[in-house]
Amino acid sequence: MVFTLGKDWQVEPIAGDTGTAFMGTNKEEKLFLKQNTSPFLAALAIEEITPRLVWAKRLVSGDTITAQEWKNGRSLHKSEMTQKSVAELLHRIHHLPVLKKILGQIGGKTVTPFELLNQYFRGLNPQLRSHPLLKDVANRLRSKQPNFARSNYEVCHGDLNHKNWLLSDHNQLYLVDWESALIADPALDLSMLMYHYVPRENWQEWLTSYYALGGEELPPDLEARVHWYVLMRLLLNVKDAYERGRFHEMNQDIIKLSQVLNEQSLL
């Protein structure tokens, strides 16, 4: 994508991104530019969950460009994902009614366990449908869907990869890249965090601390819900890898499914 901000600006793509993020610089200012980002960004910036939104413009092509304050900093390391600051920011996101209201108003999706299962089965290749392990896991998930009221659903980021957490040079933590935002059971977000970054033996301690931030006790069904979403995400990963022809990744995820199921079968 080619665009200009004016004669005094230089716009360069950010290496390693998907081609939608740019750095805009002039003599006195530097901005983070993003193509066609969610209108939800404005609410996130007001709450200081993402860096400050400077402006948004619609181009002649119909594309939109948003400009955010450039923050010097770095992504979190995997080992830093268990820090209290991560839990605090995620807990705040999950408990801000204004975010849920705004995301709903702009057409944000509400995703239930039933809809995730439908997503998996929709167009599923017969080879995957008949695979013994995948079939077993899918049947377990279908029969043990979390019984969590939709009225308690909250805004979820949907992709809590450690690279999406930005720690500025002034020690301000942000969560960026909200293209996968949805309204869902918070256990969906927590499942990714638990599976990828928290040792299994520390799940209960981490989750207990997370709920204590709001003066709440750990819900008795939470670990089962987290476990359900871990397995669901892995099933979806298997399907996605198969459809893209990435069979090594698919087999690795099948192995992970078996391991998760054997570690502690809550289903």
pLDDT of 121 above 90? yes
- pLDDT: which is higher, 260 or 26: 260
Sequential DSSP letters for 123-169: T--HHHHT-HHHHHHHHHHHHT-----GGG-EEE-S---GGGEEEET
Q: For residues 89-118, give the mean pLDDT.
A: 97
Pairing of strands 173-175, 165-168: antiparallel
Of 55, 70, 85, the residue that ends a domain is 70
Give the residue from 42, 70, 98 where a domain finishes: 70
Residues with active-site annotation: 159
Let me know whether 48 and 140 are in one domain.
no
Q: Domains in the chain: how many in total?
A: 2
**Residue 90 included in any domain:** yes
Same domain for 170 and 251, yes or no, is yes
pTM summary value: 0.90
φ, ψ of residue 20 to 5 degrees: the values are -115, 0
| pLDDT greater than 60 at residue 1 | no
Shared domain check, 193 and 142: yes
Helix (H, G, I), strand (E, B) or coil at 254: helix
Domain that holds residue 54: 10-70
Phi, psi of 154 (to 5 degrees): -135, 175
Residues 23-35: tens digit of each pLDDT: 888 877 888 888 8
What pLDDT sits at residue 108? 94
> Of 20 and 128, which is predicted with more confidence?
128
Question: Quick check: helix, strand or coil at residue 4?
Answer: coil
My answer on whether 34 and 150 are in the same domain is no
Angle at 180 between CA 147 and CA 133, to 5 degrees: 55
- Is there a single domain that holds both residue 180 and residue 93? yes
pLDDT tens digits, one per residue of 199-249: 999 999 999 999 999 999 999 999 999 999 999 999 999 999 999 999 999
Q: Are residues 142 and 228 in the same domain?
A: yes
Q: Among 53, 70, 87, which residue terminates a domain?
A: 70
**CATH code, 233:** 3.90.1200.10
Asked if the structure places residue 124 within a domain, the reply is yes
Number of neighbouring beta carbons within 10 Å of residue 113:
22
Q: Percentage of the chain surpassing pLDDT 70?
A: 94
Asked, for residue 3, whether it belongs to a domain, the answer is no
pLDDT for the residue 135:
97
- Is the separation of the CB atoms in 231 and 117 below 8 Å? no
Please tell me the predicted confidence (pLDDT) of residue 59.
77
Q: Is residue 167 part of a domain?
A: yes
Looking at the fold, whether 148 and 162 belong to one and the same domain comes out as yes
153-188 residue pLDDT tens: 999 999 999 999 999 999 999 999 999 999 999 999
